[in-house]
Structure formats: structure tokens, C-alpha cells
Amino acid sequence: MQKQRSRRVAARGGVKDPLAPQYPIESVDRALQLILLFGEQPEIRLTEATRYLGVASSTAHRLLAMLQYRGFVRQDAMSKAYYPGPALTDVAFSIFRRIDVEGTARPVMRRLCERLRESVHVGMLDGAIVRFIAGAEGPTTVRVGLRVGRTMPAHCTSTGKAMLAQLSDTQVSQLYPDEDLECITPHSIASRTDLLKELSRIRRRGYATSRGESEEDVASVAVPIRTQAPGLRLALNAAAPTNRLSSSQYRFVAALLVEGAKEIGDHLT
């Protein structure tokens, strides 16, 4: 990302970039710069795009309109801000699959699954949604089933909250522009204010928990998986029926997850 910033500064300052193509297409370059900007922030407003590219607002609007037409961005009807679109997400997930997060995480998840005798998952943050991309199912008869392929509101899961806690309060507020939040159980966090308070607690203790927030009879603990990939946010989670995972066990489970998350992150770097 620093190299990208340096190239933009060089171009604006009239400095010849030795890596630039001989016959650059300026409109393509500007559109790609806007796409890359999503690696640094969750949304783009027209005024930001205009200032960022150093162009007239009409030019920035046309670029964003074409990206929206091709599905690379979507515009919120209320705020008018632009967010990553389905085409961009599809491209990102195709790349992530080639990184082979699942293959890297599989031995770690299996080891944790055997140690804890509970289900273990890896989730990825996609805006305000968590996508479960890998998992290992617990060996007991009564267990939390695999969530691979499922999506859930990030604020309703320990996995999502572990990743949201890696963002600033400003970034979280951009993802959640409304005070009222969607609840999928009576225990789900219902307001942005309460979510920000919870994320502050998660940052202090280093792990996230959920008790009946995504499913009423499920408790879970999650920690972030730190990687060097820009914009890639992952978390490792262990989930169990509430009667088998008490709050007094959270710290022990979190410590094991931290070790596993570091191993996964080191191999993905």
C-alpha cells in the first residue's frame, strides 16, 4: 500500500514513475485508484473521490457510475456513499481462495477441535457481514454445526466482533450509520452505542465472546488472525452449546485460539 501511495504522489508531483506504462490510459488508472482506496477505508464519498484523484466532481462521478454499472461499487441510497460492490467482492474471494486460507487453517482447526472437543471456524469480514470460510466440526454428538458458507451480521457473532475491534470507532460507525442494529436473537447487540462499548472491551482483553447473540443456545470465543494482506480481516472462533462453555472458560479458550491464530497468520504472511 505504501508503494501505491508513493506512485500516486509521484504522478501528481510530475515525477516520472519508472514503472508506469509508456502509453497510460488515464481513466483506467483513476478507476483502479478508486478500487484500491477501498483497501484503506470502507466507503468513498464523491467529494473524497474528487479530492483523492485531483479531478472535477463530474469526472469522479462518471468513474464511480461506471464502476457501479459493472458491480465494482454500490451506492447507499440514503448516505450516497459508495461501498465495495458484489463484483469486487467476488474477485476478492477468488483471490482469497487461491491464497488457500482454508488449507492453511485446516491443521490448526483440527488440532484445536481435538483439544477443545468443540467446533472451530475461520471467518472473514465483508463490510458489516462475517463470512465463515473454513471450519472443523466438533466430535461430540451434540455440537455446533459447521457454518462454512454461511453469512451473519458481524455484530451478532464473536467472530465478527473480533474483526470489528480491529477497526477504529470511526470506521465502525461508517459500517453502521444507523444507531439501531439488526437483532437475530433477543441477546444480539441492538445499538451502535452498545456495539462500540463492546468493541472497546474486546480491544482491552484481546478476544471477543458471544452468548446467545447469533443462536440462543450457542456460546463462542474468537480472536483476530493478523495478516499482512491489505483489507483482509480474518478471525478464529471456537463455538459450543451454552451449557458446555461457561464465562469462566473464556480466557483459557482464548489463549489456545491466540496461538492458533498466530500460526495461521504467520503462514498467510
CATH number at 233 reads 3.30.450.40
AA letter at 125: L
Same domain, 103 and 150: yes
90: cell is 467476488
What own/partner pairs with CB < 8 Å and gap ≥ 24 does 1-9 have? 1/39, 1/40, 1/230, 4/36, 8/33
Residue 13 has pLDDT above 80, yes or no: no
Residue 17 has pLDDT above 80, yes or no: no
With contact defined as beta carbons under 8 Å apart, do 219 and 241 qualify? Answer: yes
Q: Which residues pair with 237 in a beta bridge?
A: 121, 222
Q: d(Cα 126, Cα 59) in Å, to the nearest integer?
A: 28
AA letter at 216: E
Residue 125's φ and ψ, nearest 5 degrees, are: -85, 130
Q: Give this prediction's pTM.
A: 0.70
Same domain, 68 and 127: no
Residue 166 falls in which region: left (phi positive, over 0), alpha (psi -120 to 50) or beta: alpha
70 part of a folded domain: yes
19 part of a folded domain: no
Mean pLDDT of 247-253: 96
- Please report how many Cα atoms fall inside a 13 Å half-sphere around the Cα of residue 258, on the Cβ side: 10
Which pLDDT band, with edges at 50, 70 and 90, does 98 fall under?
Answer: low
Task: Give the domain range for residue 53.
Answer: 26-93
AA letter at 57: S
Final residue before a domain boundary, out of 71, 93, 115: 93
Per residue in 50-83, pLDDT tens?
999 999 999 999 999 999 999 999 998 888 999 8
SS3 for 10-23 is HHHCCCCCCCCCCC
261 part of a folded domain: yes
Q: Hey, is 137 helix, strand or coil?
A: coil
Q: Residue 173: count other Cβ atoms within 10 Å of its Cβ.
A: 15
Same domain, 119 and 60: no
Mean pLDDT of 178-197: 96
Final residue before a domain boundary, out of 48, 72, 93: 93
Q: d(Cα 222, Cα 67) in Å, to the nearest integer?
A: 35
- Residue tagged 461501498 (cell numbers): 83
Mean pLDDT of 210-232: 90
Q: d(Cα 23, Cα 242) in Å, to the nearest integer?
A: 62
Torsion angle, alpha carbons of 191, 193, 195, 197, to 10: -150
Same domain, 110 and 89: no
Per residue in 110-156, pLDDT tens?
999 999 999 999 999 988 999 999 999 999 998 998 889 899 999 99
Per-residue pLDDT, 85: 86
Q: Which residues pair with 241 in a beta bridge?
A: 218
- Give the total number of structural domains in the chain: 2
With contact defined as beta carbons under 8 Å apart, do 216 and 233 qualify? Answer: no
